[in-house]
């Protein structure tokens, strides 16, 4: 090969030199290398300006060319800045060529290092920090919505600080986490919503990511396929989100100040019945059941009392406010000869539209880079943040949830004398709020220190350590009278969760010529240890309110009922390498190998091996396309690899027993008891996903149009499922098992165009869409009932997607009797509802998701708006079975107006009744596909208008004012509040399977913000 190449180069050289011989000019020679790493550049074109004569570099970067003293040599090379050098009598001209900062030469963070975009063989989407900062979101990850193909973001509820659900290229998990791995400046951070022992307390998805300050983020790289995420081995299957924080890059001092203020309101209001409507309908149900006279009302209310006091409480209004938001960021970037620093502080306070609910965050960051010597560099990051979440109850836990359920309009807030109205078993959310103090304070420190050293032989060594500390302090205090105890002042609860997460890694990389190209080899090892400790406690106080603010530790350091939970320790060790082979900047090969060992895996499966290979080809650099002017870029890529998912709890594989007994605990017959609590599973291991990706990237008309396309096939095997063993096994704890297979096949397209570029005016569009088909291929020998989605009626059904709605089919309302008619399993009509007749009727996964951003720039004005869309995917409106079903102690929605009232009526909803048997069931809450709705929607997610102020004083380098709004418009056929739903999840299975199930979930917020940004 090498000889062949030498031959080719010699020929090319001779061909270009020959005419020059006739002109009898002098010979100039030299060597061309890469300015950054000093490697020889092969095939650089050297032309004598204004003539047709040229030469190119050989395999060692050397060239010879004939030119006269007055000539100018033009050096050009793909991906590098073209350089012109006058000969001026020199006979040797060596050149260090610098990379061109074109899109293709953009540096991408790829895990344990960086690569130029050109070198990448996998699928990576890079999103700049400024793109996130322009979107008002409860947490930074929510702002990724609609920005990247194949990345589905379901924003959390309207609760301040609540988390989003992110799925990259589908979902291949049942009980292991389905979210991507988040890596901040090299450390995989504590991210799970289930980290906090309070879990979904208050019906909120707590979110450790909310502590991260979006304003610190310089860029986010989303690694989507095997070639990209494979370097993360057993943790790469769900994709990886790499977060790089801001650092100083230029010299001198610069400062930035930005601030935002805004308001929040719900995107929709639930249409609940008012007092008059409720009474009328309740009476109708009463009479339908054959009762006479006025109905006995719930909650001990009487018709007379309601009439006398004219009670008509709008509980929604009692729980909703206009929230106020404010945010301040200041940063100072300083670049010196040796030391470069970035320092930033931020404060934001985000009230949601729920009365009493807010998330405020204070954070500081110091990132520094220090050049110790030409060979040795140090870099460090340190950030501290504190998020204070003022909590309220929502959904099933109270507050706005009550307003949509058990808080009836016929209930008053206060008694005649102004005291709170109290009735056993009936909520009063105003009283609940007044007598509850609840906040969750999350503290987070992320720090790292890295040292890199270049050996004279060209090997670069890099070592580093990172520390990620997370503490969540969840404190709740409820007045004695609220918990029904008048003998105490109050009751305090605390959930304290702490995670110490360390990581150390060592890598070496070396780039050398190998054959026709350059080979860059990276080898490394990493160790990570994460220790999660937790205490939960409850204290009762009868003397003072001392416990109100610290229930675990009293004034004198005494503890109150704190129960330390078992520490959860995870250890992780890895060895990895990456090979990047670049032939003439045209052909790129990559292979990654990773071995992961984890303490989570059973003893029979301690280590796993995860290899990937990828190849990309720049067809547009080939001669046959060089002449096609319309095509400015054409790149093909293909890759395959194995990744894993090991996002499940520590110690799942061990079998355990517990002993308890007198005198302090319950035993039996005064003797201790010893019993099995969990069955062992020594074979437990990670999920394995085989990923195949093929795609292209094409640029037309000087990259005015860029199209990216990827087709992917993923097959996950050994799917981790938390199996509820059949009860006959006689052990209550479910076990983790590797069962079955799930496939995800689909494609992604993104198109960015500059539609108009006309001097002062530019219009650009970014569009992306992705589609995937998800299918459970097998669940081994387990029953479909054994793996269920939390409390929600989604199931794991072979041949169907993850999160299949498995329901009895509702047929119609019988026009004669007004009773609901169901279909039995064979499709025959029946009045009896029996869960045996459940069939797969829908699923929560969408068919298509995507986003489109249009940006208009005119002189100093910039206007952009982002639409996100979801097509397909069913929403199960779980609360409507109570709001529109058998009349119970729940308020009803106005949709109930379309109900059966007399024989002959054709109606959507059956006759009103208080008797469950009317609906053919013994229980009043009947799951059928009547509550299943199409979840498609288009949402105007973000609109922003920016004006860049003219420079008036020298001190200010630039300044801008931005007005933005989120969730302005939503187009959907869904009859509920909000078609974008991430209800509160009980566990990872629930999170994977039940995203589109709503149960009184607070809708998202609509915000309006005004911000300024000043650089000086």
Partner 1 sequence: MKKIKTIFFIVTITFSCSLLETDIPTTEILEEEAIKTKKDLQDLLNSAYDVVANYNNGLSQRLSELLSDNIASGFTDAAGFFNEIYNRNTNLFNSEVGNYYKEPYFAIHRANTLLEKVDEINLDEDSRNQIIAEARFIRAISHFNLVNLMAHPPGFTNDNSHLGIAVRTFTGSEPVTRSTVDETYDAIIKDLRFAEENLPESNGVYATSYAAQGYLSKVYFMEQNYDSAIYYASQIIDPGSPFSLVVNNINARYSQNITSEHIFYTLSTGAFDNRAGVLIGSYRSDVNEPFLKVSQELYDLANVNASDERAEWFEEQTREDGSVFYVTTKFNSNFQNVALIHMVDMLLTRAESLAILGTDLDQARADLNQVRNRAGVANISPISTQEQIIEAIRNERRLEMSLEGDRIMQLNRRGASGEDIQIRGANWDCPGSALQFPATEGFPGFVFNESGGC
Site for partner 1 in 513-542 (CB under 8 A): 527
Closest approach, Cβ 725 to partner 1, in A, equals 6
Q: Per rule CB under 8 A, is residue 672 in the interface with partner 1?
A: yes
Residues 458-497 that bind partner 1 (CB under 8 A): none
Rg (CA), the chain: 32
From the list 330, 370, 510, 575, which residue makes contact with partner 1 (rule: CB under 8 A)?
575
Q: Which contiguous run of DSSP H or E holds residue 403?
A: helix 400-403
From the list 623, 627, 670, 955, which residue makes contact with partner 1 (rule: CB under 8 A)?
670
Query: Quick check: helix, strand or coil at residue 931?
Result: helix
Report yes or no: 646 and 658 within 8 Å, Cβ to Cβ.
no
Which residue lies nearer to partner 1 by CB, 532 or 911? 532
From the list 604, 832, 894, 898, which residue makes contact with partner 1 (rule: CB under 8 A)?
832
> Binding mask 955-994 vs partner 1 (x if CB under 8 A, - otherwise)?
----------------------------------------
> Binding mask 383-422 vs partner 1 (x if CB under 8 A, - otherwise)?
----------------------------------------
Tokens of 924: 């009043």
Q: Per rule CB under 8 A, is residue 897 in the interface with partner 1?
A: no
- Number of DSSP helices (H) and strands (E) in the chain, helices first: 11, 51
Contacts of 407 (CB under 8 A, 6+ apart): 313, 315, 427, 428, 429, 891
Q: Per rule CB under 8 A, is residue 311 in the interface with partner 1?
A: no
Q: Which stretch binds partner 1 (CB under 8 A): 87-95, 630-638, 755-763, 829-837?
A: 829-837
Q: Per rule CB under 8 A, is residue 656 in the interface with partner 1?
A: yes
Nearest partner of 893 among 902, 884, 885, judged by Cα: 884
Nearest partner of 170 among 691, 901, 582, judged by Cα: 691
From the list 337, 416, 836, 952, which residue makes contact with partner 1 (rule: CB under 8 A)?
836
Q: How far is CA 284 from CA 277, 279, 294, 729, 897, in A?
A: 11, 8, 10, 48, 12
Q: Per rule CB under 8 A, is residue 828 in the interface with partner 1?
A: no
Sign of CA dihedral 817, 822, 827, 828: negative
Q: Which stretch binds partner 1 (CB under 8 A): 57-65, 191-199, 506-514, 657-665?
A: 657-665
Tokens of 731: 């052990």
Closest approach, Cβ 760 to partner 1, in A, equals 58
From the list 68, 916, 960, 1015, which residue makes contact with partner 1 (rule: CB under 8 A)?
916
Q: Per rule CB under 8 A, is residue 130 in the interface with partner 1?
A: no
Q: Per rule CB under 8 A, is residue 567 in the interface with partner 1?
A: yes
Which residue lies nearer to partner 1 by CB, 609 or 861? 609
Query: Quick check: helix, strand or coil at residue 990?
Result: helix
From the list 271, 334, 571, 713, which residue makes contact with partner 1 (rule: CB under 8 A)?
571
Which residue lies nearer to partner 1 by CB, 795 or 933? 795
Residues 48-87 that bind partner 1 (CB under 8 A): none
Name all contacts of 888-891 with Cβ < 8 Å and 24+ positions apart.
Answer: 888/914, 888/924, 889/298, 889/299, 889/406, 889/408, 889/426, 890/405, 890/406, 891/272, 891/273, 891/278, 891/404, 891/405, 891/406, 891/407, 891/408, 891/409
Nearest partner of 197 among 724, 792, 836, 649, judged by Cα: 649
From the list 10, 702, 923, 958, which residue makes contact with partner 1 (rule: CB under 8 A)?
923
Closest approach, Cβ 387 to partner 1, in A, equals 29
Give the C-alpha separation, 183 to 189, whole Å.
6
Q: Which stretch binds partner 1 (CB under 8 A): 322-330, 416-424, 830-838, 851-859?
A: 830-838
Tokens of 139: 């947490």
Q: Per rule CB under 8 A, is residue 335 in the interface with partner 1?
A: no
Q: Per rule CB under 8 A, is residue 727 in the interface with partner 1?
A: yes
Give the C-alpha separation, 477 to 494, whole Å.
9
From the list 921, 964, 992, 1001, which residue makes contact with partner 1 (rule: CB under 8 A)?
921
> Binding mask 778-797 vs partner 1 (x if CB under 8 A, - otherwise)?
---xxxxxx-x---------
Give the C-alpha separation, 832 to 1, whole Å.
78
Report yes or no: 680 and 651 within 8 Å, Cβ to Cβ.
no
Q: Per rule CB under 8 A, is residue 302 in the interface with partner 1?
A: no
Q: Output b/e per residue, 647-679; b: 16+ Cβ within 10 A.
A: bbbbebbeeeeeeeeeeeeeeeeeeeeeeeebe
Residues 187-226 that bind partner 1 (CB under 8 A): none
Q: Per rule CB under 8 A, is residue 679 in the interface with partner 1?
A: yes
Which residue lies nearer to partner 1 by CB, 195 or 927? 927
Which alpha helices (DSSP H) does 959-1009 contain, by range? Answer: 988-993
Q: Which contiguous run of DSSP H or E holds residue 967?
A: strand 958-972
Closest approach, Cβ 733 to partner 1, in A, equals 11
From the list 573, 764, 852, 975, which residue makes contact with partner 1 (rule: CB under 8 A)?
573
Closest approach, Cβ 843 to partner 1, in A, equals 19
Closest approach, Cβ 152 to partner 1, in A, equals 30
Q: Per rule CB under 8 A, is residue 667 in the interface with partner 1?
A: yes
Q: Which stretch binds partner 1 (CB under 8 A): 27-35, 415-423, 818-826, 832-840?
A: 832-840
| Total chain residues near partner 1 (CB under 8 A) | 72
Residues 585-614 that bind partner 1 (CB under 8 A): 593, 595, 597-599, 606-607, 609, 611
Closest approach, Cβ 513 to partner 1, in A, equals 23
Tell me how far apart the terminal alpha carbons of the chain are, to the nearest angstrom: 56
Q: Per rule CB under 8 A, is residue 627 in the interface with partner 1?
A: no
Q: Per rule CB under 8 A, is residue 730 in the interface with partner 1?
A: yes
From the list 59, 508, 638, 654, which residue makes contact with partner 1 (rule: CB under 8 A)?
654
Q: Which stretch binds partner 1 (CB under 8 A): 114-122, 464-472, 506-514, 719-727?
A: 719-727
Give the C-alpha separation, 825 to 841, whole Å.
12
Q: Per rule CB under 8 A, is residue 726 in the interface with partner 1?
A: yes
Closest approach, Cβ 994 to partner 1, in A, equals 17
Report, in this order, helix, strand and coil percent for the chain, each rounded to 5: 15, 50, 40
Which residue lies nearer to partner 1 by CB, 26 or 595? 595
| ω into 643 cis (within 30 of 0) | no
Q: Give the pairing of strands 997-998 and 874-877.
A: parallel
Contacts of 380 (CB under 8 A, 6+ apart): 367, 368, 447, 448, 449, 450
Which residue lies nearer to partner 1 by CB, 162 or 592? 592
Which residue lies nearer to partner 1 by CB, 218 or 523? 523
Give the C-alpha separation, 77 to 1, whole Å.
22
Give the C-alpha separation, 101 to 528, whole Å.
35
Which residue lies nearer to partner 1 by CB, 221 or 652? 652
Closest approach, Cβ 566 to partner 1, in A, equals 4
Residue 538: phi and psi, rounded to 5, are -140, 130
Q: Which stretch binds partner 1 (CB under 8 A): 36-44, 458-466, 677-685, 956-964?
A: 677-685
Residues 847-866 that bind partner 1 (CB under 8 A): none
Tell me the sheet residues that pair with 437.
477
Give the C-alpha separation, 15 to 5, whole Å.
15
Nearest partner of 527 among 454, 480, 470, 463, judged by Cα: 463
Q: Per rule CB under 8 A, is residue 562 in the interface with partner 1?
A: no
Q: Per rule CB under 8 A, is residue 290 in the interface with partner 1?
A: no
From the list 280, 651, 860, 958, which residue makes contact with partner 1 (rule: CB under 8 A)?
651
């Amino acid at each position: 090969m090498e000889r062949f190449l030498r031959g080719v180069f010699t020929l090319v050289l001779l061909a270009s030199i020959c005419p020059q011989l006739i002109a009898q000019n002098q010979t100039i020679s030299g060597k061309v290398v890469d300015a950054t790493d000093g490697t020889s550049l092969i095939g650089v074109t050297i032309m004598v300006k204004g003539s047709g004569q040229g030469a190119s570099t050989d395999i060692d970067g050397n060239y010879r060319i004939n030119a006269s003293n007055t000539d100018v040599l033009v050096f050009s090379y793909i991906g590098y800045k073209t350089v012109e050098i006058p000969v001026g009598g020199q006979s040797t001209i060596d050149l260090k060529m610098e990379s061109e900062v074109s899109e293709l030469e953009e540096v991408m963070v790829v895990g344990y290092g960086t690569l130029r975009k050109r070198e990448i063989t996998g699928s990576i989407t890079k999103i700049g920090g400024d793109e996130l900062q322009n979107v008002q979101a409860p947490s930074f990850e929510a702002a990724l919505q609609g920005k990247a193909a194949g990345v589905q973001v379901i924003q959390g509820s309207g609760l301040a600080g609540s988390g989003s659900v992110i799925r990259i290229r589908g979902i291949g998990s049942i009980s292991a986490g389905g979210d991507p791995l988040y890596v901040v400046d090299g450390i995989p951070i504590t991210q799970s919503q289930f980290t906090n022992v309070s879990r979904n307390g208050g019906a909120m998805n707590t979110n450790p990511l909310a502590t991260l300050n979006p304003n610190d983020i310089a860029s986010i790289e989303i690694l989507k396929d095997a070639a990209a995420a494979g370097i993360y081995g057993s943790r790469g299957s769900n994709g990886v989100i790499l977060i790089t924080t801001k650092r100083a890059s230029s010299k001198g001092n610069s400062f930035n100040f930005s601030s935002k203020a805004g308001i929040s309101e719900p995107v929709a209001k639930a249409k609940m019945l008012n007092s008059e409507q409720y009474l009328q309908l309740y009476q109708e149900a009463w009479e339908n059941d054959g009762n006479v006279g006025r109905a006995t009302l719930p909650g001990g209310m009487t018709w007379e009392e309601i009439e006398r006091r004219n009670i008509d409480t709008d509980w929604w209004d009692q729980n909703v406010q206009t929230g106020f938001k404010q945010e301040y960021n200041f940063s100072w970037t300083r670049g010196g000869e040796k030391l470069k620093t970035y320092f930033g502080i931020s404060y934001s306070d985000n009230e949601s539209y729920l009365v009493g609910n807010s998330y405020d965050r204070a954070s500081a960051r110091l990132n520094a880079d220090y050049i110790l010597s030409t060979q040795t560099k140090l870099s460090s990051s340190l950030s501290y943040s504190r998020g204070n979440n003022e909590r309220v109850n929502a959904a099933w836990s109270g507050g706005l949830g009550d307003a949509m359920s058990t808080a009836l309009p016929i209930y008053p807030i206060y008694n005649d004398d102004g005291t709170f109205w109290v009735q056993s078993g009936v909520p009063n959310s105003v009283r609940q709020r007044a007598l509850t103090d609840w906040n969750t304070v999350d503290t987070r420190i992320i720090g790292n220190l890295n040292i890199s050293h270049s050996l004279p032989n060209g090997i670069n060594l890099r070592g580093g350590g990172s520390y990620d500390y997370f503490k969540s302090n969840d404190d709740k205090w409820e007045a004695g009278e609220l918990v029904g105890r008048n003998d105490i002042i109050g009751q305090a609860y605390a959930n304290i969760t702490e995670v110490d997460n360390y990581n150390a890694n060592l890598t070496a990389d070396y780039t050398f010529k190998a054959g026709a190209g350059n080979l860059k080899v990276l080898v490394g090892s990493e160790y990570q240890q994460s220790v999660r400790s937790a205490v939960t406690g409850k204290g009762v106080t009868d003397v003072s309110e001392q416990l109100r603010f610290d229930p675990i530790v009293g004034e004198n350091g005494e503890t109150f009922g704190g129960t330390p939970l078992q520490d959860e320790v995870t250890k992780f060790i890895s060895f990895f390498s990456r090979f990047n082979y670049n032939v003439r900047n045209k052909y790129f090969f990559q292979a990654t190998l990773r071995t992961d060992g984890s303490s989570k895996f059973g003893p029979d499966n301690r280590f796993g091996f995860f290899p990937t290979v990828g190849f990309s080809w720049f067809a547009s650099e080939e001669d046959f396309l060089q002449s096609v002017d319309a095509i400015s870029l054409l790149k093909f890529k293909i890759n395959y690899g194995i990744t894993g998912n090991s996002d499940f709890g520590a110690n799942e594989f061990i079998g355990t027993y517990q002993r308890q007994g007198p005198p302090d605990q319950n035993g039996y017959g005064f003797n201790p008891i010893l019993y099995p609590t969990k069955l062992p599973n020594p074979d437990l291991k990670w999920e394995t996903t085989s990923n195949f990706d093929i795609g292209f990237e094409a640029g037309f008309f000087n990259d005015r149009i860029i199209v990216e396309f990827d087709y992917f096939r993923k097959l996950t095997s050994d799917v981790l499922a938390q199996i509820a063993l059949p009860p006959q096994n006689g052990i209550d704890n479910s076990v983790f098992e590797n069962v079955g297979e799930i496939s995800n096949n689909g494609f992604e397209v993104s198109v960015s165009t500059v539609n108009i570029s006309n001097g002062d005016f530019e219009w650009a569009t970014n569009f992306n869409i992705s589609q995937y088909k998800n299918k459970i291929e097998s669940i081994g020998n387990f029953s479909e009932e054994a793996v269920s989605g939390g409390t929600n009626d989604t199931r794991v059904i072979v041949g169907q997607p993850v999160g299949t709605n498995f329901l009895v089919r509702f047929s119609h309302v019988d026009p004669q009797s007004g009773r609901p008619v169901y279909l039995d399993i064979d499709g025959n009509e029946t009045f009896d509802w029996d869960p045996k007749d459940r069939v797969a009727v829908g699923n929560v996964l969408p068919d298509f998701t995507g986003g489109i951003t249009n940006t208009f720039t005119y002189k100093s004005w910039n206007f952009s708006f982002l639409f996100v869309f979801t097509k397909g995917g069913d929403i199960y409106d779980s609360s409507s079975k109570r709001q529109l079903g058998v009349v119970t102690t729940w308020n009803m929605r106005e949709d109930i107006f379309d109900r059966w009232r007399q024989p002959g009526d054709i109606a959507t909803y059956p006759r009103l009744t208080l008797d469950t048997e009317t609906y053919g069931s013994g229980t009043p809450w009947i799951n059928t596909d009547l509550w299943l709705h199409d979840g498609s929607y288009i949402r105007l997610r973000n609109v922003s208008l920016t004006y860049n102020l003219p420079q008036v004083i020298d001190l200010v380098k630039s300044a801008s004012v931005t007005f933005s709004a989120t969730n302005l418009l939503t187009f959907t056929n869904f009859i509920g509040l909000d078609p974008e739903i991430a209800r509160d999840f009980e566990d990872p299975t629930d999170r994977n399977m039940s995203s589109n199930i709503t149960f009184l979930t607070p809708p998202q917020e609509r915000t309006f913000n005004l911000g300024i940004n000043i650089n000086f």
